[in-house]
Structure 1
Amino acid sequence: MTHKIRVIVADDHQYVRAGVRYLLQARPNIEIVGEAADTHGLAVLLEAHACDVVVSDIGMPGLDGGNNAVPFLRRLLRRRPHPYVVALTMICQGHMLSGLRNIGVTGIIDKRDAAETLIDAIAAVFSGHVHLSEQVRAALDAVDPAPQLHAGALSAREWEVFQLYVQGLTVHEIAERLQRSGKTISTQKRSAMRKLGLETELDLIDYARQIGLI
């Protein structure tokens, strides 16, 4: 019997999960083993179920607060072994989509392309290939070279927090390692990002890649 591709679907919009379920449930080679409405639920499902591919929105509630699943996906993709990730998004900024590729996401699907390409994306990433939907490819092709970012005067502690964070540690883990409060670590992380001119987690990842931290 052919191994079914075990999939977990994560999106904070019920109608999106229902649409993905509709697309996948009729495929004999795919089995949906769980659905999550936020990053915490996704983490719980991954602990409870063997999974080959995670189909996940990136703009849903995260473990560290905020409406961003990227930090969790980044840490997930640092594990060995780890499931493949197909990211669902409405982001059309090329440098942010490039940030997803930089953390190891091998499938990126614009939600407007999902009906036509999601099945192919799951099969492709499961086979070890990269799959980008048409809208995503167009956004990446149109991106200008990344502007040179000039670091502000980060304090030694801000730089320490920044380095640990881009290595994949959570705010809580950094707080424990450095023996500071989680609130202090969060403040230092936000201050470092502000001084570097970084607005989002994907900006942070792209900058860290540019300067060789990841």
Structure 2
Amino acid sequence: MTATVRVIVADDHSSVRAGVRSLLSAAPHVSVVGEAADTQSLAELLDQYHCDVIISDLGMPGVGGESNAISLLRRVLRESPHPRVVVLTMVHHAHTLVGLLHIGVSAIVDKRDAPGSLLCAIEAAAGGTPWLSGYAQRALESADPSSRPRLGVLSPREWEIFQMYAHGMTIDGIARALDRSSKTISTQKRSAMRKLGLASEAELADYAQQVGLI
């Protein structure tokens, strides 16, 4: 690869951003054009700068009170044309990783693989080739191939209810807060879990922790 790849790095930990910046500084064909500590800053950078690849964590302070970057990344990937997205994360829930690929993420790098894998991921993403680091690949191999999540089609209300439930609110409490029936809230909560590929309350809690909701 000879053309310069313009990269924006988004992670709420300054040490991670510094490490990524240091790693990429050794690659003459990669230029970091911006850094963000939350999804609001990432959205603003995307409005200000053209980039080829976004490197983003999932669990970051989000736009509109959200606690992760999934909604913003999903919106970015719906645009045409759009930057390639490399997710840099500690999330290892197989259904979540499959869901990220489903919405158009080009590469997933587990942070435990980052030093040796990130440049490979950037090059693959910039070239339009899907890529997974070792830990991410092994996590995906553990998934039930018959169960495919549909992360990209959660409605705004389903995501709102899912977040409220993950934060510890009861179905009845959510129903009162949103002026809906408990039956409606329960149905939308189950729908959100199904679309995320979550089969139990334990998986829900694990997922919510991995993406920074709790």
**TM range, smaller chain:** 0.7 to 0.9
Does the CA contact (< 8 Å) of 1:70 and 1:202 recur in 2? no
Q: Per-residue deviation at 1:164?
A: 5.1
Are 1:142 and 2:142 an aligned pair?
A: yes
Q: Is the 8 A contact 1:95 1:146 kept in 2?
A: no
SS of alignment partner, residue 63 of structure 2: coil
1:81 corresponds to which residue?
Answer: 81
Q: Distance in 1 between matches of 2:185 and 2:55?
A: 29
Counterpart in the other structure of 2:193: 198
TM-score (norm 2): 0.72
Contact 1:10 1:36 in 2 (8 A): yes
Residues 6 and 50, structure 1, Cα contact 8 Å, conserved in 2: yes
Q: Root-mean-square deviation (CA), in Å? A: 3.1
Matched, 1:51 2:46: no
Contact 1:100 1:202 in 2 (8 A): no
TM-score norm. by structure 1 comes to 0.72
**Deviation (angstroms), 1:190:** 6.6
Instruction: State how far apart, in whole Å, the 2-side matches of 1:91 and 1:28 are.
Output: 30
- Report the residue type matching 1:64 in the other structure: G
Distance across 1 between alignment mates of 2:88 and 2:8: 13
What does residue 20 of structure 1 align with? 20
User: CA, structure 1 residues 120+190, in 2 after alignment: closer, same or farther (shift >3 Å)?
Assistant: farther
Task: Give the Å deviation of 1:192.
Answer: 5.1
Equivalent AA in structure 1 for residue 72 of structure 2: F
Letter in 2 for 1:43: A
Q: Which consecutive unaligned segments of at least 5 residues does structure 1 have?
A: 150-161, 172-182, 205-214
Partner of 1:211: none
CA displacement 1:81-136 (0-9 Å, x = unmatched)? 10000001111111110010010001000000000100010000100101100000
Correspondence for 2:106: 106
Shift of 1:80: 0.6
- What does residue range 64-213 of structure 1 map to in structure 2 within 5 Å? 64-145=64-145, 165=156, 184=178, 193-196=188-191, 198=193, 202-203=196-197
In 2 relative to 1, CA 84–202 (structure 1 residues): closer, same or farther, beyond 3 Å? farther
Q: CA deviation at 1:143?
A: 1.1
- Summarize the Cα distance change of 1:203–1:75 in structure 2 as closer, same or farther, 3 Å threshold: farther
Distance change (3 Å), C-alpha of 1:126 and 1:147: closer
Equivalents in 1 of 2:154, 2:89: separation in Å? 27
Instruction: Measure how far apart 1:41 and its partner are.
Output: 0.3
Counterparts in 2 of 1:59 and 1:29: CA distance versus 1, 3 Å: same
Would the alpha carbon gap of residues 21 and 101 (structure 1) be closer, same or farther in structure 2, given more than 3 Å must change? same
For this pair of structures, how many residues does the alignment match? 176
Deviations 1:132-154 (A, max 9, x none): 000000000011245699xxxxx
Give the partner amino acid of 2:87: A
Instruction: Report the 3-state secondary structure (helix = DSSP H, G, I; strand = E; otherwise coil) of the residue aligned with 2:78.
Output: coil
- Report if the CA contact (8 A) 2:147-2:197 is conserved: no
Query: C-alpha distance in 2, partners of 1:108/1:124?
Result: 11
